[in-house]
Amino acid sequence: MFKEIIQSTYPSDYDSEEKLNKVTELAERLPQDLKDYLIAILEGDDVPEIAVEGYTVGSLMLRHGMNKVAAVLTLDYLRRNPEKALDSLRKGHDSVGL
């Protein structure tokens, strides 16, 4: 479900099958509300922002240069492990490592 929409939305960000498979796997593990949210924003639906620890997809995109997929995955990380996620955001984001 996610693979096709991620690839069509961000073909240059996930330009290898390995990167695409990794980010797809992470998206498929999201809690249902974040899965629904990710699909909605990738399809261009106008939905209310989800905020976690003061961060939203918009703020992560603006301040940290993330795309929508990376931003939603970061919101999940902020929910699961806020202390480590906040520390990581303060230090600077990284890319999906393989």
User: pTM (2 decimals)?
Assistant: 0.88
What region, left, alpha or beta, does residue 31 occupy, with left being phi > 0 and alpha being psi -120 to 50 degrees? beta
pLDDT tens, position by position, 3-30: 999 999 998 888 889 999 999 999 999 9
- Residue 38: pLDDT over 70: yes
């976690």: which residue's tokens?
Answer: 52
The two three-digit tokens of residue 71, written as one number = 């931003």
pLDDT at 55: 97
**Banded model confidence at residue 98, pLDDT cuts 50, 70, 90:** very low
